[in-house]
A and B are shown apart, each in its own frame.
Chain A
Amino acid sequence: MSLKADETGARFGAPPAWLWKTGSLITTLAMTFFGLLLVTFLIGRIVPVDPVLAVVGDRASQSVYDKAYIELGLDKPLYEQFWIYLQKMMTGDLGQSFLTKKDITEDILRVFPATLELATVGIIIGTVLGLPMGVLAAVKQGRIADQLVRVLGLVGYSAPIFWLGLLALLVFYAQLGWVAGPGRIDIAYEYSVTQTTGLLLIDSAMQGQWEAFRNVVSHIILPASLLGYFSMAYISRMTRSFMLNELAQEYITTARVKGVPEWRIIWVHALRNAAVPLVTVIALSYANLLEGSVLTETVFAWPGLGQYLTNSLQNADMNAVLGGTLVIGVIFVGLNLLSDLLYTLLDPRVRRRG
């Protein structure tokens, strides 16, 4: 029915569906970003912290203080400050850090690859482990395998990442010596890899620096596994429940009656259908990791977005906080869009409706 209505609409000159969709998407995006920036901006002004103090320090004379106050534009009314910020942002200028006077865009471009690399390896580990574990738990519902997966998931859910991180460092780095310690790369390799993408795994591989590549791997493996463990906990739980739902459907019974091999039923029929909502779960987990996991980055001395944002926030460096928030917003919206797109690919019903 709906299909027909759409077709009729298009025939009689109403905007085509894709235009309508794009338009509403852009409006939603604009409103999301505006809201995001406004709220962050206001929070930055409401917190009882004097941003001038962070810039000039506790010892500065009144004249130095006043000068910085005006330089930061704090003498202007709030709406004007926000308007100036928005105008600049429209031209791609995220402004300068209050503290270091460095361009925020430059700063973020420097710290973001570290987070991107860590989060990507993390989500790959999380998905590769979480998905089969969830399927296993669903298939063996109520049996030992299921209980094990659930306990593992529960630990992942409830153990503080900070503590787990330190423990992992103590065992795998300090005691066993299997992996390298905190940081992204050893000092010895620090300058042997030229950073083009900022993703050290890719940079070192592209330059054929295999020694450095191994070093980067041995640095990233522990924090990424830790992050992977946390997303694994979430992904396996969700996979389990989606799979249980699918396995109870009538089409599965039909398939079984028809004599389709069990592995095909699970991995092709059921998982294919469970995969649709799972895409969102994985995308959201990924987005969470990309926000920069503050505690993991602190324990592993990982110079990423999470550390950058925390530090900026503590110093009331609001330009930097706004810039970081914007990047996170873009990531969230981008990944949501991506999972929408994947939906269309995976689910023929969505494709047809679109």
Chain B
Amino acid sequence: MLHVPRVFAAASVALFAGLTPPAVQAETPADTLVMAWSIDDVISLDPAEVFEFTASEILGNSYQGLIGYNVENVSEIFGVIAESWEVAPDGLSISFKIREGMKFASGNPITADDVVFSLTRAIKLDKSPAFILTQFGLNADNVDEMVVKTDDNTVQFKMDKAYAPTLVLYCLTATVGFIVDQKLAMENEVDGDFGYNWLKTAYAGSGAFTIREWRANEVVVMERNDNYSGEAAPMARAIYRHIPETSTQRLLLEKGDIDIARNLGAEEIQALADNPDIVIDSGVKGAVYYLGLSQKNEFLSKPEVRQAMKYLVDYQTIADTIMKGKVTVHQAFLPKGFLGVLEETPFELNVEKAKELLAAAGVPDGFKVTMDTRNTPDITSIAQAIQQTMALAGIEIELIPGDGQQTLTKYRARNHDIYIGRWGPDYQDPHTNADTFARNPDNSDDAASKPLAWRNSWEIPEMTALADAAVLEADADKRAEMYLAIQKDHQQVSPFVIMFQDIEVMGRRANVKGFVVGPSFNDNSFKAVTKE
């Protein structure tokens, strides 16, 4: 009886035994850097369009801009494709002298024409990051007169006002200012798109690595650029594998199937801390975590309530226990590492003080509000901690969880009470955050510009004027003082409870050396990575 199952069982065992390799080799090739990262945010590889963390890092390692800065000390600006630059006496233009003898990966020489083409192209295509360049008074209609080649090796960048030169220079270090191979792009042009549809998934740069392939949600493969002008990268290949699950990243890292895990959660970091084969690296990033308090809400619009809420967050405990080293306490809108940053952290959990302030506001028993919370583990945990401490003073917060796009849609439509958000700077200049946290030129519903201050319906004509003045200050020291003054005022009165600054944490195999964690994602560099 029942002979057949035995045959089946025997056959299955034989099948498994025959097919499964005896031992699985778990080691990445010596000349290849393999990283695990959640790369599902990559939607394009065109510098005119890229605005996402992952894609910025990919471009930072595969393209070059006119200028760059020292990631250790961002005030040290140097030329990359530009050999030197000169600000016109009236401050209305900057002339860049292009370095001779540099080549794109294709072998085409990098010329002044490529520079004009790249900047003009970004402005005419007018994709998400284009505002970084158009804010200087450039647009699709005038860019042909504003960005011009004045001789074979010189490009002049004109502006509508005499902006602070550092602001312009920092903006040009953003990925939107990266230089694209004109000849290659135009060979792939269709219907006057400057090669956009092609470049979304292709490569036309001059950086240390080329982009060989991008398979969405699967892998990005980069290869050493033999035409690179700088020192050749030790790694022949760099590969990003899309590994969405953090615990899977940890297993792969422990096993040696990847060299660097990029999205470790707080628990994984702790678990890996004792592993001698793994080193945890971290670097301060520009993003800040904040609460946005809508001024349309009758309670949140009271100045004392705003102040009280800043005393109702247990900053240090959240940073130490929930985020476990992935954030540092920071309470001003400019992140550490920026010109004019205010590093003071005057607020800590103080329920008594908060209660006094609430009583002064006429709401001694507190009130009820809602908080739109993105349903990621980190944000949810922070929100729950805040909910508890706010309740100590009678402020009852109802958390409304939603997916990222959903909460953002609501926030942008000004339909929230409190929004817990994370804001990363777009470029390395203080204006990037001042522009959104401390400027609101038009608070009407159909305003042309809708910064964070607008989203929270905060009307601030005086502060807007101060921020506008800081943009035009050519003296860096004076400019820093202006930003300090704005932040001091902002810290006390604004409807933003700024809480933390991001720290990027990654786990790497101990034999992998030389990965640089920069202040922004396009500064993260594996050009010098070696494996022992």
B406 touches A47 (CB 8 A): yes
A54 touches B405 (CB 8 A): yes
Tell me which residues across on chain B come within 8 A of A299, comparing CB atoms.
245, 248
Which of B94-102, B236-244, B363-371 forms part of the interface with chain A? B236-244
Give the docked Cα–Cα distance between A178 and B242 (Å).
23
B89 at the interface (CB under 8 A from A): no
Which of A11-19, A82-90, A151-159, A308-316 forms part of the interface with chain B? A308-316
Tell me which residues across on chain B come within 8 A of A100, comparing CB atoms.
43-44, 200-201, 216
Q: Is the interface of A mostly helix, strand, loop or mixed?
A: helix
B448 at the interface (CB under 8 A from A): yes
B448 touches A62 (CB 8 A): yes
B241 touches A99 (CB 8 A): no
Tell me which residues across on chain B come within 8 A of A128, comparing CB atoms.
8, 12
A76 at the interface (CB under 8 A from B): no
A188 at the interface (CB under 8 A from B): yes
B426 touches A59 (CB 8 A): yes
Enumerate B393-442 residues with CB–CB distance to A below 8 Å: 403-406, 408-410, 412, 426
A267 at the interface (CB under 8 A from B): yes
Enumerate B1-27 residues with CB–CB distance to A below 8 Å: 1-5, 8-9, 12, 16, 19-21, 23-26
Interface string of A96-137 (1 = CB under 8 A from B): 000111100001001100000000000000001100110110
A62 touches B449 (CB 8 A): yes
Tell me which residues across on chain B come within 8 A of A333, comparing CB atoms.
none
Interface string of B345-382 (1 = CB under 8 A from A): 00000000000000000000000000000000000000
B83 at the interface (CB under 8 A from A): no
**Which of B5, B16, B131 is A59 in contact with, Cβ under 8 Å?**
B131
Interface string of A300-313 (1 = CB under 8 A from B): 11010001100100
Tell me which residues across on chain A come within 8 A of B8, comparing CB atoms.
128, 132
**Which of A57, A129, A174, A303 is B12 in contact with, Cβ under 8 Å?**
A129
Q: Which partner residue on chain A sits nearest B237 by CB separation? A: A187
B406 touches A48 (CB 8 A): yes
B217 touches A311 (CB 8 A): yes
Give the docked Cα–Cα distance between A267 and B449 (Å).
75
B255 at the interface (CB under 8 A from A): yes
Range of interface residues on A (Cβ < 8 Å): 35 or more
Enumerate B252-273 residues with CB–CB distance to A below 8 Å: 252, 254-255, 257
Q: A131 to nearest B CB, angstroms?
A: 8
B183 at the interface (CB under 8 A from A): no
A221 touches B406 (CB 8 A): no
Tell me which residues across on chain A come within 8 A of B126, comparing CB atoms.
63-64, 67
A174 touches B28 (CB 8 A): no
Give the docked Cα–Cα distance between A128 and B1 (Å).
19
Enumerate B326-340 residues with CB–CB distance to A below 8 Å: none
**Which of A61, A177, A266, A315 is B26 in contact with, Cβ under 8 Å?**
A177
B255 touches A48 (CB 8 A): no
A60 at the interface (CB under 8 A from B): yes
A283 at the interface (CB under 8 A from B): no
Q: Which partner residue on chain B sits nearest A314 by CB separation? A: B403
A289 at the interface (CB under 8 A from B): no
Give the docked Cα–Cα distance between A170 and B248 (Å).
9
Give the docked Cα–Cα distance between A187 and B28 (Å).
8
Q: B35 to nearest A CB, angstroms?
A: 11
Q: B203 to nearest A CB, angstroms?
A: 16
Give the docked Cα–Cα distance between A23 and B330 (Å).
69
B406 touches A182 (CB 8 A): no
Give the docked Cα–Cα distance between A132 and B449 (Å).
67
Q: A351 to nearest B CB, angstroms?
A: 27
Tell me which residues across on chain A come within 8 A of B32, comparing CB atoms.
187
Q: A347 to nearest B CB, angstroms?
A: 22
Which of A210-218, A250-258, A274-282, A335-343 forms part of the interface with chain B? A210-218
Say yes or no: A298-B20 contact (C-beta < 8 A), given A62-B450, A307-B217, A311-B40.
Answer: no
B3 touches A180 (CB 8 A): no
A287 at the interface (CB under 8 A from B): no
**Which of A111, A179, A190 is B20 in contact with, Cβ under 8 Å?**
A179
B197 at the interface (CB under 8 A from A): yes
B23 touches A303 (CB 8 A): no
Q: A268 to nearest B CB, angstroms?
A: 10
Say yes or no: A301-B19 contact (C-beta < 8 A), given A57-B128, A63-B126, A180-B24.
Answer: no
Q: A311 to nearest B CB, angstroms?
A: 5
Give the docked Cα–Cα distance between A179 and B25 (Å).
9
A49 touches B409 (CB 8 A): yes
**Which of B2, B36, B426 is A136 in contact with, Cβ under 8 Å?**
B2
B216 touches A135 (CB 8 A): no
Query: Most chain-A Cβ atoms within 10 A of its Cβ — which of B1, B5, B51, B408?
Result: B5
A48 touches B410 (CB 8 A): yes
A56 at the interface (CB under 8 A from B): yes
**Which of A64, A177, A221 is B23 in contact with, Cβ under 8 Å?**
A177
B2 touches A169 (CB 8 A): no
Tell me which residues across on chain B come within 8 A of A99, comparing CB atoms.
43
Tell me which residues across on chain B come within 8 A of A329, comparing CB atoms.
none
Give the docked Cα–Cα distance between A182 and B43 (Å).
23
B242 touches A303 (CB 8 A): yes
Tell me which residues across on chain B come within 8 A of A161, comparing CB atoms.
none
B251 at the interface (CB under 8 A from A): yes
Give the docked Cα–Cα distance between A99 and B19 (Å).
40
A331 at the interface (CB under 8 A from B): no
Q: B91 to nearest A CB, angstroms?
A: 25
Give the docked Cα–Cα distance between A221 and B5 (Å).
22
Give the docked Cα–Cα distance between A314 and B187 (Å).
35
B34 touches A187 (CB 8 A): yes
Interface string of A37-63 (1 = CB under 8 A from B): 000000000011110011111111111
B507 at the interface (CB under 8 A from A): no
A93 at the interface (CB under 8 A from B): no
A301 touches B239 (CB 8 A): no
Say yes or no: A217-B243 contact (C-beta < 8 A), given A56-B128, A99-B43.
Answer: no
A139 at the interface (CB under 8 A from B): yes
Q: B278 to nearest A CB, angstroms?
A: 13
Tell me which residues across on chain A come within 8 A of B412, comparing CB atoms.
50, 53, 58
B406 touches A181 (CB 8 A): no
Q: B417 to nearest A CB, angstroms?
A: 16
A173 at the interface (CB under 8 A from B): yes
**Which of A135, A188, A300 is B29 in contact with, Cβ under 8 Å?**
A188
Say yes or no: A101-B197 contact (C-beta < 8 A), given A49-B409, A136-B2, A181-B257.
Answer: yes
B68 at the interface (CB under 8 A from A): no
Tell me which residues across on chain A come within 8 A of B24, comparing CB atoms.
173, 177-180, 218
Tell me which residues across on chain B come within 8 A of A136, comparing CB atoms.
2, 5
A183 at the interface (CB under 8 A from B): yes
Give the docked Cα–Cα distance between A215 and B128 (Å).
42
Give the docked Cα–Cα distance between A53 and B26 (Å).
41
Interface string of B205-243 (1 = CB under 8 A from A): 000000000011111010000000000000000010111
A301 touches B426 (CB 8 A): no
A74 at the interface (CB under 8 A from B): no
A20 at the interface (CB under 8 A from B): no
15 further interface pairs, Cβ-Cβ under 8 Å (given A102-B201, A178-B24): A48-B410, A57-B51, A61-B134, A101-B200, A132-B9, A139-B1, A166-B247, A173-B255, A187-B239, A190-B219, A214-B21, A217-B19, A221-B16, A301-B243, A311-B217
Interface CB pairs A-B, < 8 A, 27: A47-B406, A50-B405, A50-B412, A56-B127, A57-B51, A61-B134, A62-B448, A99-B43, A100-B201, A101-B197, A132-B5, A139-B2, A166-B247, A169-B251, A173-B251, A173-B255, A174-B254, A218-B19, A263-B2, A267-B4, A301-B245, A301-B248, A307-B217, A311-B217, A314-B403, A314-B404, A316-B405
